[in-house]
Structures are given as C-alpha cells and as structure tokens.
Structure 1
C-alpha cells in the first residue's frame, strides 16, 4: 500500500487531509516559499487534533540550504521545541558550499532529533553527487528521503528516483514529491518502486468574509490556499491498484 503524505501550512488543511485519507502530515508555514518552520501554536494545535503522524518542517528561512551557525542554532532549538510539543518527526536538509550534504551539521541535527523520525527533504535535489548524498543520509540514520529525482518534478525525475530506491535497498524510504497528482502518480510508483508519495493537493478557496472592505479588495485578501479534499481522494483512488 502506498502511503500518502500531505504537506500543509494551516489548521484547516489538517482536517481536510485526514478526512481524505492522508497517512502522514508534513507541517509547515509558508508553502509558497517551499515550506518553513511552523509556529509553536500551529504545531501544538495540529498535534492535538491529528489522528495521523505529524512531521514538522525545520527550515529557518527560504532560499538555499547553506546555513550559518546562527541558523543552525535556530534549527536545533526548533527541533527541541517541536519534540516538546509532541510531533512524531521532523523534516530538514543541510548542504555545504560545494552542494553536498554538510555531514557535521546533519550529525548535530540528528543528535537533537533522537527518538523522532527524520525525513531529509528536497535539499538532496540540489546536490552535485546524489549517490554520495544518499550514502551520507543512510549513514546518518534518517528514515526517509523526499526527492523529485533532481528534476523540477517527480515525474520527470523518476529515472533518478528509481536509482535511489535501488541504492537504498530498503534501508530507508525514498518518497517522491513535487508535481505529484492523480494523473501521474501511477506511473511514478510503477517505474520507481517507491512506497510513499508527497503532495500538497492544494487549491485556492474564496474568503469567507461577508463584507469586503477596501482592504479586502486586494487580491491577496480574497482567497486562501488550502488542501483540496477532491485532489487527495482522486490521487488515493489512482493508487488503489498499488
């Protein structure tokens, strides 16, 4: 059975994802920026109401994955906080200036994450040597890699994802993400051998405000990005034969 992880950045989407059959939540803020560390309030409420595992993004800013000592300190504190709030796992990725995984920082983050599940995210898709990167992640003890196979989307990267699955030999899970939908998920699963997929399944919904003021006429106040139940259900249906 293929596990479906849904990434969300608001509490409304938690309930939609759960009702629609998600198997795990990746909890973020600012999905429009690729996902950043969520607030403690969102983490606490998500854990309180979740009936499935919640993994928290640990990413202090947008942009690249080359972090300063101050940013690493932030990440360590965010992992500590997320653990205290009851999450089941964390999600992070760290690179050095040569576009390879920073082994020392990864080791520090893994020590702080002891007892939690760890997903190494799509920072791996920015690595100059993906084979070496996978070995580093395996050695560090991560349980999962989220990847698009170094491509813009997982469908285009499915050949590399297949190679990564073969390299891991079941020692950790390779999860395909980026551009996954009901139209392509069957092909990605069949051609790569993965057992997990990742998506937001989001849509724009109109504001529930009854009165639109002058401020409300600005486009950014008229709609909200939320998880769409139909997107998740349709994808789950497409996976019924796998």
Structure 2
C-alpha cells in the first residue's frame, strides 16, 4: 500500500494493537488525553525492542501551549538524545512564539540535534495554532523537517480540507503533509483523494475494563471524572478499517 498510517499511542499494549491493525509508523507519547506528552525513556526503549515499524517519540515537555522557556528547551534536547539512545527512528516536536509564529530560533537547534543523531523530525500540530498556515509551512520546510502533522488549522481534517489542499500544493514535494485530527474510516478517502495526501495520522481510541478483581472507587489517582479502572487503548479494528478504506482506493 502506498499510504503511510501513523498511529499515536500512550501505552505498550496499544503498540501491539496498532501494529496488528496495520499501522506503518507509531507516534509514541504519554498522556494522549492531554494531546500527547513525552514518553519515558523506559517506554522508548521497550517500544523500540518490540516494534516492527518505525517509532517517532513525541517531544513535548508539558501540557498547554507551545511557547517554551529555556528549561523546557533543555528538557526537549535531553529527550531527543534519549530517543536516539533508545534506537527510535525520529521525534515529533513543535514550537511557537508568543505571537503565534513558528519559533524558528528555538526550534532550529533542536531539529539540528535530531538530525545529528540520525533522527527524522515531524513538526506536529502546533502549526494548527499558528497565525498563517502557508507562512508557517515555509518556515517548517526551511527548518528541515521531513513532514508536518496538521488538520489544516481547523478542529478536524474535514473542516480544514481547503487549507490542507493549499498546504499540499505549497509543499510541492519539499515536505510531506500528514493529515490528522478526527481522521477515521469514514473520511479518510475524502481527505487523501481531495488533498492528494499520502500520510494520515489517528489514534483509533477505545478502552477496556481493568483486570483488577477489586475496584477501589473511593480513591481516585487524579480527576474524579476519570475512571481509574478503565484503560484507554488503541482499537485494532479502527486502524484496520482505515487501512481497508485506503486499500479500496486502488
């Protein structure tokens, strides 16, 4: 199949499920409920040992915006080195200025470090919070990223389809546009055909009940709105349905 299907995961159980469903690349994260944060070094190492497809680690030191200070940048540099040490294939990052521009000054040393360590670089959906999609895309290209993950500056890929078309046209083979956010089996054919995009990104989220014999509901580990005895995982069926939808285009 000529399409790349990247699946974002935040636990190793989901690694196996994503690959079983047909994922061709993994975005390795922690805390997908927060949009994805940097995974632990241990998780990077174990995922690298177990995966049969390339893995890119999310390099995002905290939840919230993409305006980072010196401490954040230092952490990101260390985490990029960790990804290389763990034998991953790439990293995923994104930085903005306070005015919503791509933070070229702070991003360049991080991207250069990744390249020096033999890692590929994806610029993530920070671009979707930037002021100008086409200007931002040019800056990401100049930074040397191999791809950008984007919804076309919209809440989801269908809403951003016109901007995705423009970005793909501007890319002109200089960078890969990967469409993600709300992508599923029902809309993937529309996105790839109308935008001429060959890479897509999704989580295929589902959940399973805890295997605990006793659920201690009186003690919550975090928010009371989060059930500690429901485990979020990737749905192999959801990934497979996207694969099937793309194969049907041939």
CA contact (8 A) 2:205 2:235 kept: yes
Normalization by structure 1: what TM-score?
Answer: 0.97
Q: Name the structure 2 match of 1:47.
A: 48
Q: Name the structure 1 match of 2:94.
A: 93
Unpaired runs of 5+ residues, structure 1, are none
Q: Name the structure 2 match of 1:198.
A: 201
Q: Is 1:182 matched up with 2:185?
A: yes
Normalization by structure 2: what TM-score?
Answer: 0.94
CA contact (8 A) 2:210 2:229 kept: yes
Which aligned runs of 4 or more in structure 1 are off by greater than 4 angstroms?
214-219
Deviations 1:118-166 (A, max 9, x none): 0000000011111111111111110000000000001110110110010
CA contact (8 A) 2:133 2:152 kept: no
Structure 1 residue 215: Cα displacement: 4.4
SS of structure 2 residue aligned to 1:203: strand
Alignment of 1:55-94 (within 5 A): 55-94=56-95
Distance of 1:197 and 1:143 partners within structure 2: 14
Distance of 1:167 and 1:81 partners within structure 2: 33
CA contact (8 A) 1:16 1:228 kept: yes
Distance of 1:213 and 1:57 partners within structure 2: 32
Distance of 2:217 and 2:14 partners within structure 1: 28
Q: Name the structure 2 match of 1:126.
A: 129
Deviations 1:21-63 (A, max 9, x none): 1000000000000000001111110000010000000000011
Structure 1 residue 216: Cα displacement: 7.3
Q: Name the structure 2 match of 1:152.
A: 155
Give the aligned length. Answer: 242
CA contact (8 A) 1:216 1:222 kept: no
Q: Name the structure 2 match of 1:208.
A: 211
Structure 1 residue 212: Cα displacement: 2.7
Q: Name the structure 2 match of 1:228.
A: 235
Q: Name the structure 1 match of 2:165.
A: 162
CA RMSD of aligned residues (A): 1.3
Structure 1 residue 214: Cα displacement: 4.6
